[in-house]
Chains A and B, each alone.
Chain A
Amino acid sequence: MGQYDEHLGESLSALMDGEASDLDTRRVLKALASEDSHNAMQMRDKWRRYHSVSAVMKGDVASTIDYSEAIAHAIGNEVVFKTSPLAKILNSSGRFAIAASVALVAVLGVQQFNQSANLTDEAAEFAYIDETSVEGVVGPANQFPAGWALSEKTQVRTVSAESVEKKAYSQQEGRAYLAYVLAKHASNAPYIRNQGMLPYARLEDRKTRTDQE
């Protein structure tokens, strides 16, 4: 008995006892894969013997019939349902179509979003002027700031200036307000000059600000 056979026997025994390592399992499966080889036949015999012994020791009925050959034969006689090449193409293209449509929706969605944003620029500008109070509003109104999160209960939709009365919040007004309070805070912060000019660095505004307040 060669060293390989010896290792194979040990691996089979370990598998039988439920103590097989990954290496043992792979070794046994590899030997079984070569169906007609000497090793495979030996392995099958050993496996059957081990189980018979084990069953007898436990007091179970030990069957000496080898079902494996019969099962293999039955499987071999099964009618094969061949897949048509067309079905294969349709199947894969279906998946592709779904992916493509998702992408298309995404692209259209972005375009529509941009379009609606452009369409509401005028309204936003009107609202902007209406809020002049908000002198010194800085930062582009269409800049969606990173880190922005609306309250979950907030109903936000793009509205025209006329429908502001409905109390639906405009994203652009919200963004403009956020830019405004951030800039005003950054402008106020230098009063506390213990950090030197650091608060100025936080200003997002890139416009020249030299007007008298």
Chain B
Amino acid sequence: MTAIFVSTSAVSQQNRVAYDLVYSMIEASNTLNYLGLVTYEKEGRLKTSKMLHLIRDDMTFEQLTHLDGPAGQISWRRTNGNCGMERAWDADAGSRPILNEDSFGRIKASYSFEIRGQSRVAGREATTIILKPKDKFRLPHFVAIDNQSNLMLMSVILSLSGKPLERFQFVEIEVGGELDTMLMPNAQANLDEQCVNAFGQQNQGEWNVGLVPSGFFLTNSMKESLTGQTVLGFSDGLTTFTVFIESAQMSAKIPPFTYNHGATAAVSTKIKVQGDEYTVSIVGEIPADGAKKIAQSVKQASKILKQP
């Protein structure tokens, strides 16, 4: 009996450590300056890139430069620190921004965490953790977290049967140091202002996604005035999926399809509303079966309101 109690206690302690590590990992990715070489691999294809991540006050600058294949670079400048996870200022923690317990709770509610051991990634000691989803709307993640900085050094998304679907891994990384005082590059960049909207205050507009798997919340919604396209972004803090609803006019040109590449699934289906056919597409790092179910649950909100 004592042995069982000790064992349960040890597992509980291990879970706690795993939770804390993932929590620290998320925080590190939002607060640290780093520059590194990364590889991204899926279905036998390998890409190598250089990543720069700088944070100054409330501004984040991110840049990804492709090192193989056709030359290319993506630069992004964010003006708001409240994107994705709700963050709050904790008086006890001084000026250190922390994650909102509710939003971190979503990850805890959706995945079980398990420490798998120690590993070495990009020449650094790391702790490996597996995040197992608690339902079939998410995929398992195997991550390696830097023991020193808590940054995620490796992420492998697995299929529900445990087969690796994609691998993102640093092969070299520099954290802090000169990067902390380096001037923000003057490169022209996409300016991200959409996440200024407070989470939880957004609504899905004229469309309603009937099946939003537990733990996912609406992160952004927009409607393109030119095309009538509605885009709804959902996340559970780790996994994201995007819902696209095309206008009846655009839908006439889009075939229904199912697409699977690496960890990304895209499912496009048709729904009929008052005689018009609309295309609903779901794209995300989620199982295709789950994506199909979500797509089929989309209804026009105004129609739902009319129902008694």
B74 touches A200 (CB 8 A): yes
Given contacts A134-B227, A154-B255, A212-B190, contact A192 B85 (CB under 8 A): yes
Complex CA–CA separation, A149 to B269 (angstroms): 12
Instruction: Give the complex CA separation of A146 and B260 in angstroms.
Output: 8
Q: With A169-B254, A173-B254, A178-B266 as given contacts, are A197 and B62 in contact (CB-CB < 8 Å)?
A: yes
Binary contact track A134-175/B, C-beta < 8 Å → 1, others 0:
100000000001111111011010000000100101100110
A9 at the interface (CB under 8 A from B): no
Residues of B within 8 A of A167 (CB): 252
Pick the contact of A196 from B29, B250, B266, B269 — CB < 8 Å?
A: B29
In contact, A212 and B188 (Cβ under 8 angstroms): yes
Give the residues in chain B near A191, CB-CB below 8 Å: 83-84, 192, 194-195, 219-220, 233, 235
Asked if B231 and A188 sit within 8 Å, CB to CB, the answer is yes
Contacting pair B242 A194 (CB below 8 A): no
* Set of chain A residues within 8 Å of B60, measured between Cβ atoms: 193
B51 at the interface (CB under 8 A from A): yes
Flag whether B138 is at the interface (Cβ < 8 A): no
In contact, A164 and B242 (Cβ under 8 angstroms): no
Considering the chains assembled together, what is the distance between the CA atoms of A199 and B190 in angstroms? 15
Least Cβ–Cβ distance between B130 and chain A, in angstroms: 15
Task: Find chain B residues with CB under 8 A from A190 CB.
Answer: 62, 76, 192
A198 at the interface (CB under 8 A from B): yes
Most chain A Cβ neighbours within 10 Å, of B66, B259, B262? B259
Picked from B38, B189, B262, the residue with its CB within 8 Å of the CB of A210 is B189
Q: How far is the CB of A172 from chain B (nearest CB, A)?
A: 10
Q: Is there a chain B Cβ closer than 8 Å to A208's Cβ?
A: yes
A203 close to chain B: CB less than 8 A: yes
CB <8 Å contact, B70 and A206: yes
Whether, in the assembled complex, A19 has its beta carbon less than 8 Å from a beta carbon of chain B, the answer is no
Which of the residues A150, A197, A212 comes within 8 Å of B256, measured between beta carbons? A150
A211 located at the interface, meaning its Cβ lies under 8 Å from any Cβ of chain B in the complex: yes
Flag whether B244 is at the interface (Cβ < 8 A).
yes
Complex interface: chain B residues within 8 A of A154 (CB): 255-257
Once A133-B224, A192-B219, A192-B235 are accepted as A-B contacts, the answer to whether A148 and B259 lie under 8 Å apart by CB is yes
A205 at the interface (CB under 8 A from B): yes
Instruction: Give the distance to chain A from B30, nearest Cβ to Cβ, in Å.
Output: 6
| B43 at interface, CB cutoff 8 A | yes
Please give the distance in Å from A205's CB to the nearest CB on chain B: 7
- Choose from B166, B257, B260 the contact partner of A174 (Cβ within 8 Å): B257
- A131: B residues at CB distance < 8 A: 227, 250, 253
For the complex of A and B, 9 pairs with smallest distance between CB atoms: A133-B227, A169-B255, A192-B84, A206-B72, A201-B40, A185-B283, A147-B261, A206-B70, A151-B256
Which B positions have Cβ atoms within 8 angstroms of A? 25-26, 29-30, 38, 40, 43, 47, 49, 51, 53, 60, 62, 64, 66, 69-76, 83-85, 107, 151-152, 155, 166, 168, 187-192, 194-195, 219-220, 224, 226-227, 229, 231, 233, 235, 237-238, 240-242, 244, 250, 252-262, 264, 266, 268-269, 281, 283-284
Task: Pull 17 A–B residue pairs with CB atoms less than 8 Å apart, ordered by A.
Answer: A133-B229, A150-B255, A174-B255, A182-B264, A185-B240, A189-B233, A191-B195, A192-B219, A194-B30, A200-B62, A200-B74, A201-B40, A201-B64, A208-B74, A209-B72, A209-B74, A210-B189
